Amino acid sequence: MIIIGAMAISCSDNTTKKIATWPGVTPPVAEKKVYERTIHGDTVVDNYYWMNDYFKKGPDSAEVIAYLEAENNYTAAMMKDTEKLQEKLFNEMKGRIKEKDESVPYFKNGYYYYRRTEEGKQYYKFCRKKGSLDAPEEILLDVDDMAEGYAYYAAGGFSVSPDNKLLSFGVDTISRREYTIYVKNLETGALLMDKIDRTTGNAIWGNDNKTLFYTAKNPATLLSEKIRRYTLGLGTTGDVAVYEEKDNTNYIGVGKSKNGKHIMIYSGGTLSSEVYILDADQPNGTFKVFQPRTKEVLYSVTALADKFLILTNDGAKNFKVMECPLDKTTKEHWKEFIPHRDDVLVSDIDEFKDYIVISERKNGLTQMAIRSLRDGTQHYLNFGEAAYTVYPSTNVEYDTDMVRYGYTSLVTPSSTYDYNMNTKERTLKKQQEVVGGYDAENYITERLSAIAADGTQIPISLVYKKGFSKNGKSPLLLYGYGSYGMSMDPVFNSSRLSLLDRGFAYAIAHIRGGEEMGRQWYDDGKMMNKKNTFTDFIDCAKYLISGKLTSSEHLYAQGGSAGGLLMGTVINMAPELWNGVIAQVPFVDVVNTMLDETIPLTTNEYDEWGNPNDKAAYEYMKSYSPYENIEAKEYPNLLVTTGLHDSQVQYFEPAKWVAKLREVKKDDQVVLFKTDMEYGHGGASGRFDYLKDVALNYAFLFKLEGIKE
């Protein structure tokens, strides 16, 4: 029984919950313009297809902006009573960040490199010192100054030439992940005249100190299609393609072996990959294929002094490691180096002169193995928490016994360690400082396991503050992703303390489609198995409710990008489970996007979602695509966010979704939609500005829970 006047609701579990008070503001109503899509004999009417028009600069482009601005005004009006709370949350979260800080220096080719931040500044200085940390500081890039006057500014791909005299770097000022590469003379401080547009931002130096290899982007689709070689000082005559990818389902990139001897081109998709290799001392030479691509075989290459190691899934679901001579790289010369194991996923190899560090996953947790190349002995690093994340950190030196790794958990701030692989001694170099004080003993993390409908156990990582009541009356935010084989490992986030300290629990559902439990975990959550991702998340929610960790009146969900697809699907499949949902840059118009090859990334995604030009794939993705499956029923409260310049998930997907939801749904729950008119997929570029979005998200949750402070 709902009693609006008293602002309380009698819930099924006999809890009493406050109802958020929303202003009586009328939401925007998007115009409907009939557009028909017909494929495989199936005709679908899309009344909001016209919203795709902004970047096409068609007749509706001005109307698109007007609609997005109207939605922004509506969201601002509906959340106006939380403005002071949002400001408080922003200052609270910003106050935990150490403003004047410095990264742990790493040593490369005679110099220590590091970044440092200054009080009140959004960005950082990229610096180095020669030979010793006591040497004078050299500021290579002052990104704080470089970013002046830009609403968005991303600098990356920093690469110093082998002679230490030149620095290449990429800059994106639009937020569409399309970078311009510049080169700076570190002796004079001047930028060279050389400038390379429309790249991924990373450049690799040949050993002649004048040749750069980079990945070029197609300006229309933003796909990476060519590797080019650029010779400094020659302009366009010195800019030539050395590799062109013909398979538009593959991503490509270029890198350099840690020992500095090889330039490597990598081409890979979901199902197959290929590597090309070149002597770094001969940058004008011809790349040679390492091993021709084979259907449904992935491989990557690590260069040692006397051989290559190959990480591959050829006959090995969870990957194995092979070896081959430096001059005989094709498959017939491969020999087993580390065998396949059914219960261990090998995810990466980090090479050193006398050791390799093997990144693995077992029982849903990350682990690191240290293997001696001198005698073949191996040992693991040990950790004492139920749910944690460990990973190799910045390791750029080849001839060293030290490996640097990062460690964190839901209660342990990010920590950087140096580990001596010979003596087995570890040294804590730095732990993230939480300004104002933080005591991990005040928080509890657990590892839980839900049972999916098909009997599969789904891990859940959980954190809450001591005093959290497991009586079904406490609020809980459940986060999920479940795509691309990306594992959502438990990590510390100081901003999350503002949620936990106000009585929320936070949980991560390690659903299929990620790779937490091995490669099969990924395969079981993609293509024609994609619905497992959604039902896993729903089953995790039901498990948390059945265990009295929360109830549907206090349960919230959050996900972004492909995790936004998850949000859109689960509210179609089980809307009754959630009181509120936050969908960030959500991929919710699956069929239309996958049918449009002019949209960035579409063809790269065929092996993830399927190609809708195939009838079976079309029918399957149409059966779960959030936009296609909105029904005339009740939905939970929604906060949807996007960026106008998003190149990964275009702004029009959530815009269309919100418009159709408002048209069709049968309830009085709110749907709020906010478009950042200056940013893209990753949000704000400054180290503080993104907290405004976090503050809005938290204020939305707190408003639904009746939390005002």
- The answer to whether 546 and 518 have CB atoms below 8 angstroms apart is no
Neighbours of 674 (CB within 10 A): 20
**H runs (alpha helix) in 417-553:** 497-500, 519-523, 531-546
Give the phi and the psi of residue 150 in degrees, each rounded to 5.
Answer: -105, 135
681 is catalytic: yes
Q: How many whole angstroms separate alpha carbon 75 and alpha carbon 675?
A: 10
SS3 199: strand
561 is catalytic: yes
Q: Supply 293's token pair.
A: 């691509």
* Catalytic option among 561, 625, 647, 685: 561
For the residues of 477-503, what is the DSSP string, one character each? EEE----TT--------GGGHHHHTTT
Which residues lie closer than 8 Å to 189 by C-beta, 6 or more apart? none
Say what the pLDDT of residue 12 is: 37
Say what the pLDDT of residue 634 is: 97
Amino acid found at 588: V
* Catalytic option among 46, 524, 539, 646: 646
354 is catalytic: no
Which residue is associated with the tokens 């008070």? 21
Say what the pLDDT of residue 60 is: 77
Say what the pLDDT of residue 705 is: 97
Task: Please identify every stretch of the chain with a pLDDT value under 70, giving residue numbers as ranges.
Answer: 1-19, 55-58, 600-601, 646-648, 679-687
Q: Supply 400's token pair.
A: 């060293």
Residue burial 284-306, b: 16+ Cβ < 10 Å; e: rest:
eeebeebbebeeebbbbbbbbee
Which residues lie closer than 8 Å to 585 by C-beta, 6 or more apart? 560, 561, 564, 641, 642, 643, 646, 648, 649, 654, 681
Report the relative pairing of strands 580-584 and 555-560 from DSSP bridges.
parallel
* Catalytic option among 262, 510, 554, 681: 681
Model confidence pLDDT, tens digit, residues 124-168 = 999 999 999 999 999 999 999 999 999 889 999 999 999 999 999
Say what the pLDDT of residue 549 is: 98
Question: Residue 689: which region, alpha, beta or left (left: phi > 0; alpha: psi -120 to 50)?
Answer: alpha
Say what the pLDDT of residue 110 is: 96
Say what the pLDDT of residue 16 is: 45
- Residues listed for the chain: 709
- The answer to whether 566 and 482 have CB atoms below 8 angstroms apart is yes
Q: How many whole angstroms separate alpha carbon 164 and alpha carbon 168?
A: 11
Nearest to 203 by CA among 186, 235, 179: 179
Q: How many whole angstroms separate alpha carbon 256 and alpha carbon 351?
A: 13
